[in-house]
Structure 1
Amino acid sequence: MAKKVLLFCLLLCCLTVGLVAQPTREDYKHADEVASYGKLAYGTKIEPQWLNESLFWYKINRKKGNDYVIYDLEKATSFTPLDQEDLASQLKDSLNKELEAFKLPLNKERFSDDVSSFTFHMEGYKWSYQLTSKLLSREKLPEKEDWGYWAEGRDELANGPVTSPDGKWLAFIKNYNVVVKEHSTGKETVLSFDGAEGIIYSSYLAWSPDSKKLATYQVRPNIKKYFYLIESSPKDQLQPKLHKREYLKPGDAVPIKQPALFDIETLKQIDVDGQPFENQFDLSPIQWMEDSKGFIFDFNERGHQKYQVVRVDAATGKTKVLIEETSNTYVEYPRLRKWMFNDDQQIIWKSQRDGWFHLYLFDAVTGKQQRQITKGEWLVRNIVDIDQETGQIWFEAAGLKKGEDPYHIHLCTVNINGKHFKELTPDNANHHTWLSPDKNYIIDRYSRVDLPPVLVLRDGESGKVIKRLEEADISELTAKNWKAPEVFTTKGRDGTTDIWGVIYRPTNFDPNQSYPVIEYIYAGPGSNYVPKDFTTSYWFSGLAELGFIVVQLDGMGTGNRSKAFGEVCYKNLKDSGFPDRIKWIKEAAAKYPYMDIDRVGLYGGSAGGQSTVNGLLQYPEFYKAGVAACGCYDNRMDKIWWNELWMGYPIGQEYIENSAVENAGKLQSELMLILGEMDDNVDPASTMQLVDALIKADKEFELVVLPGMNHTLGGEYGERKRRDFFIRKLQGEKTPDWNK
């Protein structure tokens, strides 16, 4: 009897957790195939370009391969002028390699405005193909310009001489000072006399349009800071290589700039009061007004709680703050934007000052706010175009309609006086649009994660659909039992705010089974990260296919919602929206009982790696296992701009409280760390400091270090390790013996 009871209990246990067989190599191979099912969807990749008011073209992926279509508005017809069979044959002869029509690896394709030729880049050449004569020619492309490492400070002395608009003067830096040379006489005149090695004038000189004034910055350089990388296995030598990267971290000194102004008619310097801008994070490049009566620059105060647009009077050097943004948390300066209007007499300004990103109109001379152009509990994402004569503005907006995904982008128009607002793309979807040069037509490609792309031509005035141009074909995809992600929404921690996400299921999904849940997380503030367009290229698909439900969502603390929604992250990056995430997953599981929330995993890279570790440390009762890649586990170790914006300046106790390194002793869940040894985005020492803290706390974890790899989730090897880890830890199954 006891044996029967035991057998019954074991059977009940199996039914509870789901019958997932031990995975094989073939299962992994099949998972990779599912992840590449995108090749079975056609008409999903479309990038239009306007040629003129009556012609546009687009590249589209069809079953046979890439096709190039030109649409003629006057004739209301489309045609394909490119003879790809002939082009492939000629390219094959020129390059002596096998090439197939409709599958040519072309880049930067373009038709000429009169549709007489087709140009593209390939194999280091720019090619030109005459569509009538079918003559193919090529020219060698210049070597790619080395822009240097992204975190390097600008070399203020690296710019060459700058000629005045009237061609009479040449301005340059000599012995750290500003010098002008008159072309007619060759005479050089020194305009500044206080430049020295420790306080230099920038060679990025800006002439006024009338050539009567010259402006630049005097710069007090900072002490450069570096971190170091050891490349253990270089391809060209046996011994390792040492690399160093210039890299500022929170709290480090930054260069200090002061505006400088020179009168070319008198060859004298005009004093500009730079004292109000001393406590700076940065000053933007100088921008002259069209009338040459002044120039403007943006002042970004250190700590990012004040941001100003400043005007300097060209005659007197006096400064005036035209626009000021302040916040007791942060001013989200990367998303502030300005557009000059009315011959630079007015500024259209995108600001979050009322709690949502909206457009405002300011006088560019007095700084007076003339009106708020857009308003409401939705936000302006970007301005597409401005008619300088009529004042009509075309812009992208999101969150317009209650009940629709608030991240969906719609094209709208409004007059600069705030009147005549109109939504031009009303369909419930995410819209990518291209305005014709005369604004009479709109090409609109729209989709959702669960709606394949549609390409339509719209009337530019009303938004009415004139012609349905293309519809994606996913019949072969669905024949493989592919399942689109499901959009799922619940209320967040406050009980009122909608939290949006998606659920991914395997192709062999069985609602009678019980599946572990894995959340892919990226919770970095400033943007949203859940896909909104239709795509079949989800890297989650392979993981889901091995017996998991994978979810992704945007919790509070991320961007593209209200200011209050984003401010949850301020000095509190370890929050990562977890109260919203856990509530969301629990409510999804209440609707779908096959989601086993006793077996929840978490993974992500970069800021997602940081969030993964913090999720395990703070919520071990919910997140049982996590894989964190290339993370910053202490914000004092990461790049200056990102961390000072969200974590504040000066560096305070909150940096310690948010540090996974400082809190490593709290680890209770299963953890794998992945690190590329050549990561020059996040200092690899951040991962190793976490490793050190975990060892000192006597914690168990797994570490995967990938030689030669940069900032990465791990590539193919890392993906296999991640799959193995979750199968072992959440399914309790053995994984293939990869060494046999």
Structure 2
Amino acid sequence: MKPRIDLRLRIKPGRSWAFILLLAGSEMLAQGTASDYKRSEALKEKLRDKLYNAPTAINWLPKSNRFWYLTRTRKGSEFIVVDAAKRTRQPAFDAQQVAQKLAEATGKTLDPYKLPFNTITFGKDDESVEFVAEGSVWQYGPGSVAFRKKGPFTAEVNDRRYWGEGRDETAKRTVTSPDSNWTAYVKNYNVYIKSRQTGAESQLSFDGSAGDYYANSIQWAPDSKKLVATKLRPAEKHLIHFVRSSPTDQLQPRLENREYLKPGDALPARRPQLFLVESKQHLPVSDALFNQQFSLSNLNWRADSRAFTVEYNQRGHQLYRVLEVNASTGAVRTLIEEQSKTFIDYSGKRFRYDVADGKELVWASERDGWNHLYLYDGPSGLVKKQITKGEWVVREVVHVDEPTRTILFAASGKQPGQDPYLIQYYRVKFDGTDLTALTAENANHVARFSPDFQYFTDTYSRVDLPPTTVLRSAKDGSVLMELEKADLTDWQQAGWKAPEVFTAKGRDGKTDIWGVIIRPTNFDSTRTYPVIENIYAGPHGSFVPKTFMANAFAMHELAELGFVVVQIDGMGTSNRSKAFHDVCWKNLKDAGFPDRILWLQAAARKYPSLDLNHVGIYGTSAGGQSAAGALLFHPDFYKVGVSSCGCHDNRMDKMWWNEQWMGYPIGPHYAECSNVTNAHKLQGKLMLLVGEVDDNVDPASTMQVADALIKAQKDFELVVLPGVGHSSGGDFGERKRRDFFVRHLLGVNPPAWPAPAPAAP
């Protein structure tokens, strides 16, 4: 590809064509040059920590109406404490004194507005504070403990894995009854109890065996007269294997593995069994209502010990039941049943709250086409009332208040004329009356409620609106105090351009598709710019940013190289209607591309500076699958793609995520959606990045795409990241990605990588 030169210039009188062409060939109008890279790097430094008066997380004190937060002002970082009841706002402690005391103790010079910690813990008196600095825990407060070193700080070791090995359900574990008179445990595959008074041991079950044993997850009833134990028929484990080529503790590579179930694998069967302590009786529990398990979870006793409940997710995710087991008879009945012709979004929208020990239940469901709340009668299992209703969605239940029979919740799409993804907060009665908006500003709201739910902080913003933080009453949403209003002056002086929120109709010609457009700081509307889409189309959420991106600069940095960068939520993603979401079912290759392409075409009609002859795309994980899929399934539109750690074939990826959206049993649709199966269709320029020890998405998935591309004699680039897990590649991957787009969308050879800084002597 030839270097990209823009000839759409405004020609002034008296200028010759020779002059114009000479000017067009100069570096001033080129894109992807060394100066663009320098400006891209400089932008991050110009913006970082230059947004003032925008608090980090709000931290309410336990059993208190006080909270603290950290905010950056023009002085530096300041800790603030607020008393909601008294309406006071003041420094959380004397920063000058803390800096002086800590400097004396450590021998280091400290700035009170650059203290070496960013979190604090209040003491029981809500006055003294503790913090970690220089490897120790320190306490500062009034009185005799004005300042002291409490001792060394021991950091928790986090051997982070995406999917752990799981709890050993055969390990010896003793569970004490609530009245402390009994212990229960599993021995020789069966359930035993022992009197703590006499030491006498009794065997309760006799049907356990090596292949069908009782797990150690025993749960006593509150009255200590009954217990439930789960009988487990295990399935064969599925291991994925890695070679860690460059371990830090040895020269030779290391072979590693993880337990990792994939779609279609056999699953263990769990069957809760009931035991009566006094009579030593085993009451078998019929599994007729839960015998095709994907999962059996949330086993809980009723407070009065009359029954226990458990939730059953049928494999295929089209049937979900809340079951109750009678503790006197072992009889099982259905309290709630959800059915769907596509899928039940149990991982993203499940909510249940049992009122008055099960006399009523609050339940979330999409049965009317939108995610709403329902009130069930516990004894009959019948719906008493649909609590919320309308073409909008409940996003989160914050609190259920039984005495007042009210619910605090977050929702989106209810306010007319607003972006349907913007979150607002509401309260409503159990019977659906007295629905009250607690927030209303045209922005995305993030609320943090006090422990007694009488107050809440509200930080609201949009991608094009800096955040404002206020204290509100949880009764009616009235503003009690304005706490912070962000200062964007330095960003504006740096030339930062706010993302533009843009909408266009989707494939049905009716539904609005929402996204953002990000332009470089030197954007010139008379020129054209290749377009790069940042894609993540996982059905488990929606992904276009809705809050102000205070520290998310990557898309802006990429735009500085001479691109317009976009992000879009197409059909098949969540947080809209059920019909909108269902587009993904058994069809992950769709990834909303028909909507994305129409959105981009509409944007280009409005803004001719968008060059749709040069469109790139990148993404990680599910986004990596979609980025590669764009070039395979829509090669006439997407020309350059960078795919990181993609789950390229849904049969190769984790079971729980893929069977949720692609269904069970495994069918031909899995192969139809596979980037491996369709690799021969590649026409554009593709880069694959993968971490060699990725335990979120099996790295073999990327290698199988590479193998298929090689067999189809397709040219592509493969970047394997030694010792790296699930990742976009860090700084190295980011530079590779940017260079790839500059080379193939702009037709420019990117500048040489900067030499590493000299090692310290």
Scaled to the shorter chain, the TM-score interval is over 0.9
Partner of 1:46, secondary structure, is coil
**1:438-458 superposed Cα distances (whole Å, 9 cap, x missing partner):** 433222111111111111122
CA displacement at 1:437 relative to structure 2 = 3.5
Hey, what does 1:49 align to over in structure 2?
59
Give 2:192's aligned residue: 179
- Amino acid of the structure 2 residue aligned with 1:177: N
- Corresponding residue for residue 217 of structure 1: 230
| Structure 1 segment 80-99 matched on structure 2, within 5 A | 80-92=91-103, 99=110
Q: Does the aligned pair in 1 maintain the 2:456–2:472 contact within 8 Å? A: yes
Shift of 1:73: 3.9
Kindly indicate whether residue 50 of structure 2 is the aligned counterpart of residue 40 of structure 1.
Answer: yes
Which residue number corresponds to residue 463 of structure 2? 449
2:285 alignment partner, one of 272, 277, 295:
272
Give the superposition deviation at 1:725. Answer: 0.7
Give the letter for the 1:41 counterpart.
L
Equivalent position to 2:207, from 190, 194, 197 = 194
Contact kept in structure 2, 1:159 and 1:204, CA below 8 Å? no
Letter paired with 2:324: R
Matches of 1:21 and 1:390, distance apart in 2: 65
User: RMSD between aligned alpha carbons?
Assistant: 2.4
Q: How does 1:186-265 map to 2 (within 5 A)?
A: 186-265=199-278
- 8 Å Cα contact 2:244-2:722 kept in structure 1: yes
- Counterpart CA distance in 2 for 1:148 and 1:449 is 32
Match of 2:546 in 1: 532
CA drift at 1:97: 5.8
User: Structure 1 residues 536 and 459 mapped into 2: Cα distance closer, same or farther (>3 Å)?
Assistant: closer
- Give 1:113-152 correspondences, 5 Å limit: 114-122=125-133, 125-132=136-143, 133-140=145-152, 144=156, 149=161, 150-152=163-165
Question: Does 1:508 find its partner at 2:519?
Answer: no
Among 60, 70, 87, the residue aligned to 1:59? 70
User: Which SS does the other structure have where 2:72 is aligned?
Assistant: strand
Other-structure match for 2:309: 296
Q: What per-residue deviation string (whole Å, max 9, x for no partner) do you get for residues 585-624 of structure 1?
A: 1111111111111111000000001001111111111111
Shift of 1:504: 0.8
Aligned to 1:436: 450
Preserved contact between residue 81 and residue 131 of structure 1 (Cα < 8 Å): no
2:586 corresponds in structure 1 to 571
Counterpart-to-counterpart distance in 2, 1:497 and 1:53: 45
C-alpha distance in 1 between matches for 2:23 and 2:204 = 84
Between the aligned partners of 1:407 and 1:106, the Cα distance in structure 2 is 35
- 1:112 maps to what in 2? 123
Alignment of 1:64-83 (within 5 A): 64-83=75-94
- Aligned partner of 1:373 among 387, 405, 410: 387
Relative to structure 1, the CA distance from residue 93 to residue 50 in structure 2 (aligned partners, 3 Å threshold; closer, same or farther) is same
Measure how far apart 1:292 and its partner are. Answer: 0.8
- In structure 1, the partner of 2:566 is 551
* TM superposition shift of 1:103: 2.7
TM-aligned CA distance change 1:604 to 1:20, over 3 Å:
farther
Alignment pair present for 1:281 and 2:294: yes
Cα deviation digits, residues 271-297 of structure 1 (max 9, x gap): 110233221111003111111110001
Measure the CA separation in 2 of the matches of 1:499 and 1:602.
18
Inter-partner Cα distance in structure 1 for 2:322 and 2:27: 60
Residue 724 of structure 1 deviates from its aligned partner by: 0.7
CA contact (8 A) 2:27 2:33 kept: no
Q: Pick closer, same or farther for the CA change 1:679–1:174 going to 2, 3 Å.
A: same
Preserved contact between residue 274 and residue 282 of structure 2 (Cα < 8 Å): yes
1:42–1:474 Cα contact (<8 Å) kept: yes
> Residue 355 of structure 1 contacts residue 564 of structure 1 at CA under 8 Å; is this kept in 2?
yes
Query: Counterpart in 2 of 1:30?
Result: 39
- Provide the rounded CA distance (Å) in 2 between the counterparts of 1:631 and 1:316: 50
Structure 1 length normalisation: TM-score? 0.95
Deviations 1:148-175 (A, max 9, x none): 7424343212462111111111111111
Distance 1:260 1:9, change over 3 A: farther
Residue 210 (structure 1) shift: 1.0
Offset of residue 358 of structure 1: 0.7
- Structure 1 residue 350: deviation in Å? 1.0
Instruction: Supply the AA of the counterpart residue of 1:283.
Output: L
Q: Deviations over 1:372-392 (max 9, x none)?
A: 111111111111112121111
2: CA distance between counterparts of 1:500 and 1:9?
A: 44
CA contact (8 A) 2:415 2:440 kept: no
CA shift for structure 1 position 217: 1.0
- Paired with 1:691 and 1:192, the residues of 2 have a C-alpha distance of 53
For the 8 Å contact 1:92–1:99, the answer to whether it is kept is yes
Q: Percent identity?
A: 50
Long gaps (5+) in structure 1 = none
Aligned mate of 1:695, from 702, 710, 714 = 710
How far is the alpha carbon of 1:146 from its aligned partner?
Answer: 6.1
Matching of residues 512-661 of structure 1 within 5 Å: 512-538=526-552, 539-661=554-676
| One-letter amino acid of the counterpart of residue 222, structure 1 | A
Q: Distance in 2 between matches of 1:370 and 1:16?
A: 73
- In structure 1, the partner of 2:11 is none
Shift of 1:181: 1.0
Matches within 5 A, 1:710-725: 710-725=725-740
Q: State whether structure 2 residue 359 is matched by structure 1 residue 345.
A: yes
- Which of 707, 716, 721 pairs up with 2:722? 707
**Residue range with higher mean Cα deviation, 79-88 or 125-134:** 125-134
Q: Residue in 1 aligned with 2:12?
A: none
Q: Which moved more, 1:577-586 or 1:532-541?
A: 532-541
Give the number of equivalent residue pairs: 735
Secondary structure (helix, strand or coil) at the match of 1:71 reads strand
**CA distance in structure 2 between the partners assigned to 1:290 and 1:12 by the alignment:** 83
Give the counterpart of 1:468 among 482, 504, 507: 482
Task: Give the AA of the match of 1:21.
Answer: A
- Contact persistence 1:18–1:515 (CA under 8 A): no
Gap change, CA 1:698 and 1:19, over 3 Å in 2: farther
Q: 2 CA distance for matches of 1:148 and 1:266?
A: 46
1:145/1:381 CA distance change after superposition, 3 Å: same
For the pair 1:493 / 2:507, whether they are aligned, the reply is yes
Amino acid at match of 1:225: H
Distance 1:677 1:657 in 2: 26
CA gap of 1:423–1:527, structure 2 versus 1, over 3 A, is same
Q: Which string of whole-angstrom CA distances, capped at 9 and with x for unpartnered residues, describes residues 477-499 of structure 1?
A: 11101111111111111111111
What is aligned with 1:21? 30
Structure 1: distance between partners of 2:257 and 2:26: 50
- Check the 8 A contact 1:17/1:513 in 2, yes or no: no
Question: Cα 1:189–1:55, aligned 2, differ >3 Å: closer, same or farther?
Answer: same
Q: Which amino acid is 2:728 matched to?
A: L
Q: Residue type matched to 2:42 in 1?
A: E
Measure, in 1, the Cα distance between the counterparts of 2:116 and 2:171: 37
TM-score, L = length of structure 2 = 0.92
Relative to structure 1, the CA distance from residue 499 to residue 535 in structure 2 (aligned partners, 3 Å threshold; closer, same or farther) is same
2:322 to 282, 294, 309: 309
Answer with 529-538 or 544-553: which moved more.
529-538
One-letter amino acid of the counterpart of residue 174, structure 1 = K
CA distance in 1, matches of 2:466, 2:608: 28
What is the distance in 1 between the residues matched to 2:110 and 2:268?
52
The question of whether the paired residues in 1 share the 8 Å contact of 2:54 and 2:484 is answered with: no
